[in-house]
Amino acid sequence: GARVDLDTTTAEASPLVLKLQGGRAPFRWLANGKPLVGIDRRRTATWQPDGAGYSTLTVIDAAGRAASVKVFVE
């Protein structure tokens, strides 16, 4: 996984920009198994983490192909 410093020491961490290549829209974006809404046709999205720690980000395309990455937010 990747380590990402989003300054979680403040009241609200900075958002993380998510980008994907390939696949066919619409896309289903998930953060820790929970859907990210309103971004199903975009190849770029932002995710606001709940705080520090490990998270799994997943994208699923129209054909059912999925890709996931585990990140550690600091």
Give me the CATH number covering residue 16: 2.60.40
CB 36 within 8 A of CB 29: yes
9 CB contacts (<8 Å, ≥6 apart)?
none
Reply yes or no on whether the pLDDT at 8 is more than 70.
Answer: no
What is the reported pTM? Answer: 0.80
Domain span at 37: 2-73
> Based on the structure, what is the number of domains in the chain?
1
pLDDT in tens, 10-26: 667 688 888 999 999 99
Read off the pLDDT of residues 34-61 as tens digits, 9 standing for 90 and up.
998 877 778 888 888 888 889 999 999 9
